Amino acid sequence: MRLDAACISSDILVIGAGGAGLRAALEASRRGARVIVLSKGPVPGGATSVSGGVIQAAVGSGDSPEQHFRDTVLGGRFLNNQRLVNTFVRNAPQKVLDLERYGCAFDRKKDGSLDLRMPSGATRNRGIEGEVNSNIQKILAQRALESGARIHEFMMVTRLLQDSKGAVCGATAIDFSCGAFLVFVARVVILTTGAVGRLYKVTACPRSSTGDGIALARQVGARFVNLEMMQFIPLAYAYPEFIKGFTLGEAPNYGHHTRLLNSKGERFMPKYDAKRAEYSTRDVVARANYIEVQEGRGTPHGGVWVDTSQNDRKDGLYQPHKLADRYQMIVDFYGAKKANFEEPFEATPSALFLIGGVEIDPSCRTNVPGLLGAGEVTANLHGANRLGANALAEIQVFGSIAGVQALEEIQGSQRQVPEPDSLRGQIDAEKAAVFGLLQNTGKKRACHFKREIQRIMWDGVGVVREGKNLGNALAELRQLRDVIRGGMTVAKQSLYNYDWVEALEVPKMIDVAEMMAASALSRTESRGAHYRTDFPKEDDEHWLRETVVQEIGGKLSISSQPVNMSVVPLMELQAV
Amino acid sequence: MPETITVTIDRFDPQVDKTPHPATFRVPRQDGMVVADVLQYLYENDTPDLGFLWECRTRRCGTCAMRVNGRPVLTCSEPVADEMRLEPLEGLPVIRDLIVDRQELQRRLAPWAGEAHQQGVRETRILLQQGEIAHYRALSECIDCFICDSVCPALAENSSSASQFAGPRRLIRLEAQVQRRAEPLPWLVYAAQGNPSLCTRCFACTQVCPRDLRPAEAIGSLTKRLYERQELDAHKASHIRSFIHSIRSGAWLDEFRLLVDIYGVFGVVKFVPQALRMLVHGKLPRPHFGHPAQTKDIQAVLRGLENTRSS
């Protein structure tokens, strides 16, 4: 081989080492496949590592997959892809309980049955809890390693490689722990890169969640669905800066009598939802909090007051004996009085979860041959609003399906690991571009462009949207792309050079942000997480449809398609 | 409160520097600031090539551990001080600036994977009962921040010697595996190779753990399991036997008898030169005859204890 880059070959390449990626790697490697997993951050890391501790699956008595289906689709305002939901609810109990066999320890009662709780939006006790999710991730990684998978940390994937027929057959990456350029070739690639929260100024997501996978898939012509559906969590830390946006959950987490107050001490939620007030859905509460702050009634740190004083201290989730580390965080950052419900504390809405993403079928196949997807990077399980605890089950179900499907693709097709020489053009061009960044041609650093993107997205494509602002955001993003094409200032350093990593991330973030803004502009209604002041009503007549974005011939094509409602007809759901 | 924070950071780039050199910066103070805020501020506004890691912001990834004014902590949740010195964790190879070698994932997370004795191990695990769950979690929630390893004197002492000590971080992980696997033997064998009996029981690891786990206790439990299954070598096993016997019979540790029990009467002879050297340097305690409970000092302590109890 005469390639000027180390080339590593495997049967299956998994990009992303959160719950979905590791589960896929585990399922494939224990069936004998050679699997390589690339993680941009450390393991544990990514959105899985910081997620809440509850996983939803219909395992309790009096519960059923059918009931789980109904809750999910009602919560999603009928916009969910029902074929995916159906696969999801039927597989969730088994795939989630597998985790116990792998080494997790969920809460159980004295009689040995699971100790379940009711996640918000559910109608049955269905939330399995007890394990810190970084721990689930760690256990999955251990099991995958034991079955022979290889997992590499600090790998920034820069592009997907395609063979002459257009099938995805590998990726190029920077091992930024040492600054080496690497080529990975494989027979199938699974995309599990997860969240995009870092596109926003205030987010619950960790450092790695910049939406790389969506940008990677865009380059190879993948179809994206419902990218406007970005979910915001109503309550998150308002300070200190470093953890600003990290989730504080929602009203029910603190008990049955949580009240939200603005800077004037007014209880404002009844104005937005007369019936349920603070206990309304996530999207409504997040929106109300955002509007209160926007209209000048925010707290000193730009949030609202959460008054928990009327709650029973033994009732909520954020208690010493429940989520020990979450409770301790409130003590550390806000003080013991606030943690113990003696004083109100500040909270801000925060970017949490992208419901839209790469379009997949129930076998995790995308429209691009050779490319599978699972987890948050994919669409559209959750419709217009994701129920709490459904995402952690999603990554187990679809991660596992993707791993098995990848094996089938290998066995069913004649596809071989490509000859690296045949990919030479793509590899050389990418290598030149990646190292070209270090030539320091621009005036500004990537982290400053990043702040710029985060501001544009928060203001323009955030909690509350409007046609005019969406258009402006789109224009600003495209302008920024042109500026960045002129280069950036990048530190020269080969060991853990985050300045370089961010310079690689920023163009990808713009690619993702652009598609999100364009999708949001095209959906001329409000539904769940997507709220537009110029179209404030749900429009079932025109918009029980998925928005579709795809890059074709260098241009974005924006269209829509009917939502898959093949399982339970709308009429029947609306009658519930 | 001063409006700025003065922070001194040990900078080190192995490609340029032979030894670390301190650099001092001033950073504007903000509400509730944590140490990671300071580092991120410097990275964005002053020092683009400052080497430090963070990922989760919430004490779950373990990457942001370092020494702040000498104390090993997670910087994501450590409040700032007016003046701070930031150094990488002690006792670990420094990669660059504040980044230490956290090892390859496999070595860090599942060093047993691929080992010969692991072949054919079935994946069955014990389903835990209600009472055991909390205990298991206290073992399994280690986040690999390496803080415990960085303060462990036994690890520092034995890192280069023939009998290598696995250290608290790896041993707490192995104890978790042992507790959960239906066939724990391979993990016990693996633990035995890590020489848990070299632990000096100083409890430094338990004291510094940012997640309040108890590695020292886990090591104790591993040693006990190994003793009970007779997996320890003859010296270590007889050490434990003698220890237990001594405590049981007189409620105190007769160190001379310990030596005789482990090495035999003739074996003790080889320690004579060492004993003489210690005597010369004043390191040998005065010979003591009779039961310790009879001495005046100890009786005073016992009386004090009695008084406290009755009042």
CA distance A485 to B160: 51
Lowest mean pLDDT among A320-324, A387-391, B67-71, B148-152: A320-324
Q: Which pLDDT does position A127 carry in this prediction?
A: 93
Quick check: B227 contacting A, CB < 8 Å?
no
Q: Which pLDDT does position A1 carry in this prediction?
A: 42
Looking at per-residue pLDDT, the higher value among B295 and A142 belongs to: A142
Residue labelled with tokens 């993702």: A512
Considering chain A, tell me which residue range(s) the CATH 3.50.50.60 domain(s) occupy.
Answer: 6-230+352-421
Task: Determine how many CB atoms are found less than 10 A away from the CB of residue B311.
Answer: 5
User: Could B56 and A45 be called an inter-chain contact, meaning their C-beta atoms sit closer than 8 Å?
Assistant: yes
Cα distance from A448 to chain B (closest Cα, Å)?
A: 8
Residues 6+ apart with CB under 8 A from B99: A495, A496, B51, B52, B53, B88
> A173 in helix, strand or coil?
strand
**Is residue B122's pLDDT more than 60?**
no
- Identify from A177, A208, A242, A494 which residue to disrupt to test chain B contact, counting B C-beta atoms within 10 A and taking the largest count: A242
CA distance A134 to A164: 40
**What are the chain A neighbours of B113 within 8 Å (beta carbons)?**
142, 145-146
CA distance A11 to A410: 8
Burial of A113 per CB tally in 10 Å (0-12, 13-18, 19+)? exposed
**What are the chain A neighbours of B127 within 8 Å (beta carbons)?**
100, 112
Cα distance from B57 to chain A (closest Cα, Å)?
A: 6
**What are the chain A neighbours of B122 within 8 Å (beta carbons)?**
none
Residues 6+ apart with CB under 8 A from A167: A368, A369, A370, A371, A415
- Residue among B37, B49, B133 whose CB faces A107 most closely: B133
**Is residue B119's pLDDT more than 80?**
no
Q: Mean of the pLDDT values across residues B47-75? A: 96
Of chain B residues 139-168, which have a CB less than 8 A from chain A? 140-141, 143
Dihedral over alpha carbons A562, A568, A570, A576 (to 10 degrees): -150
CA distance A148 to A160: 24
Number of CB pairs, chain A paired with chain B, less than 8 A apart: 171
Considering chain A, tell me which residue range(s) the CATH 1.20.58.100 domain(s) occupy.
Answer: 423-540
First to last CA, chain B: 45
Quick check: A206 contacting B, CB < 8 Å?
yes
Q: Which pLDDT does position A279 carry in this prediction?
A: 92
Quick check: B108 contacting A, CB < 8 Å?
no
Residue labelled with tokens 């930031």: B86
Quick check: A243 contacting B, CB < 8 Å?
yes
Residues 6+ apart with CB under 8 A from A436: none
Quick check: B182 contacting A, CB < 8 Å?
no
Q: What ipTM was assigned to the predicted interfaces of this complex?
A: 0.94
- Identify from B105, B175, B177 which residue to disrupt to test chain A contact, counting A C-beta atoms within 10 A and taking the largest count: B105
Cα distance from B45 to chain A (closest Cα, Å)?
A: 9
pLDDT tens by residue, B76-93: 999 999 999 999 999 999
CA distance A516 to A226: 8
The phi and psi torsions of A295 (rounded to 5 degrees) equal: -90, 15
CA distance B160 to B151: 16
Q: Which pLDDT does position B161 carry in this prediction?
A: 67
User: Could A242 and B36 be called an inter-chain contact, meaning their C-beta atoms sit closer than 8 Å?
Assistant: yes
User: Could A145 and B58 be called an inter-chain contact, meaning their C-beta atoms sit closer than 8 Å?
Assistant: no
Instruction: Give B124's pLDDT tier (boundaries 50, 70, 90).
Output: low
- Quick one: closest CA in B to A332, which residue? B77
**Is residue B287's pLDDT more than 70?**
no
Q: What is the pLDDT along chain A (576 residues), one digit of tens a residue?
A: 445 678 999 999 999 999 999 999 999 999 999 999 999 999 999 999 998 878 999 999 999 999 999 999 999 999 999 999 999 999 999 999 999 988 898 988 888 899 998 888 889 999 998 888 899 999 999 999 999 999 999 999 999 999 999 999 999 999 999 999 999 999 999 999 999 999 999 999 999 999 999 999 999 999 999 999 999 999 999 999 999 999 998 898 898 899 999 999 999 999 999 999 999 989 999 999 999 999 999 999 999 999 999 988 777 777 776 667 788 889 989 999 999 899 999 999 999 999 999 999 999 999 999 999 999 999 999 999 999 899 999 999 999 999 999 999 998 777 788 888 899 999 999 999 999 999 877 889 999 999 999 999 999 999 999 999 999 999 999 999 999 998 899 999 999 999 999 999 999 999 999 999 999 999 999 999 999 999 999 999 999 999 999 999 999 999 999 999 999 988 888 876
Task: Determine how many CB atoms are found less than 10 A away from the CB of residue A142.
Answer: 23
Q: Which pLDDT does position B120 carry in this prediction?
A: 55
Q: Which pLDDT does position A30 carry in this prediction?
A: 92
User: Could A105 and B136 be called an inter-chain contact, meaning their C-beta atoms sit closer than 8 Å?
Assistant: yes
Quick check: B17 contacting A, CB < 8 Å?
no
Q: So what's the architecture of A423-540 in CATH?
A: Up-down Bundle (1.20)
Q: Which pLDDT does position A236 carry in this prediction?
A: 97
User: Could A447 and B113 be called an inter-chain contact, meaning their C-beta atoms sit closer than 8 Å?
Assistant: no
CA distance B232 to B187: 14
User: Could A45 and B55 be called an inter-chain contact, meaning their C-beta atoms sit closer than 8 Å?
Assistant: yes
Alpha-carbon torsion A280, A281, A283, A285, what sign? positive
- Residue among A105, A208, A495 whose CB faces B55 most closely: A208
User: Could B95 and A243 be called an inter-chain contact, meaning their C-beta atoms sit closer than 8 Å?
Assistant: no
Quick check: A331 contacting B, CB < 8 Å?
no
Which tokens sit at B231?
């997996």
DSSP string, A17-53: -SHHHHHHHHHHHTTT--EEEE-SS-SS-HHHHHS-S
Considering chain A, tell me which residue range(s) the CATH 3.90.700.10 domain(s) occupy.
Answer: 235-348
- Residue among B48, B105, B124 whose CB faces A445 most closely: B48
Instruction: Give B12's pLDDT tier (boundaries 50, 70, 90).
Output: very high
Quick check: A499 contacting B, CB < 8 Å?
yes
**Is residue B137's pLDDT more than 90?**
no
Instruction: Give B308's pLDDT tier (boundaries 50, 70, 90).
Output: confident
Q: Out of 3.30.930.10, 3.90.1150.10, 2.40.160.50, 3.90.700.10, which CATH number does the structure's domain A235-348 have? A: 3.90.700.10
Q: Which pLDDT does position A417 carry in this prediction?
A: 85
Q: Which pLDDT does position A444 carry in this prediction?
A: 94
Q: Which pLDDT does position B68 carry in this prediction?
A: 98
3-state secondary structure chain B: CCCEEEEEEEECCCCCCCCCEEEEEEEECCCCCEHHHHHHHHHHHCCCCCCCCCCCCCCCCCCCEEEECCEEEEHHHCECCCEEEEECCCCCCEEECCEECCCCHHHHHCCCCCCHHHCCCCCCECCCCHHHHHHHHHHHCCCCCCHHHHHCHHHHHHCCCCCCCCCHHHHHHHHHHHHHECCCHHHHHHHHHCCHHHCCCCCHHHHHCCCCCCHHHHHHHHHHHHHHCCCCCHHHHHHHHHHHHHHHHHCCCCHHHHHHHHHHHHHHHHHHHHHHHHHHCCCCCCCCCCCHHHCHHHHHHHHHHHHHHHC
- The alpha helices in A386-466, defined as continuous H runs, are 390-412, 424-436, 446-460
Amino acid letter, A537: K
Q: Mean of the pLDDT values across residues B285-302? A: 75
Contact A210, A502 (CB under 8 A): no
CA distance A472 to A470: 5
> A213 in helix, strand or coil?
helix
**Is residue B117's pLDDT more than 60?**
no
User: Could B56 and A49 be called an inter-chain contact, meaning their C-beta atoms sit closer than 8 Å?
Assistant: yes
Q: Out of 3.50.50.60, 2.170.190.11, 3.40.140.10, 3.30.70.2740, which CATH number does the structure's domain A6-230+352-421 have? A: 3.50.50.60
CA distance B242 to B229: 17
Q: Which pLDDT does position A528 carry in this prediction?
A: 96
Instruction: Please give the domain boundaries of chain B with CATH numbers for all domains.
Output: 4-100 (3.10.20.30), 105-232 (1.10.1060.10), 235-310 (no CATH)
CA distance A386 to A373: 19
User: Could B55 and A108 be called an inter-chain contact, meaning their C-beta atoms sit closer than 8 Å?
Assistant: no
> A560 in helix, strand or coil?
strand
- Residue among B57, B99, B140 whose CB faces A242 most closely: B57
Q: Which residues pair with B27 in a beta bridge?
A: B5
Amino acid letter, B51: G
DSSP string, A79-146: -S-HHHHHHHHHHHHHHHHHHHHHT----B-TTSSB-EE--TT-SS--EEE-S-HHHHHHHHHHHHHH
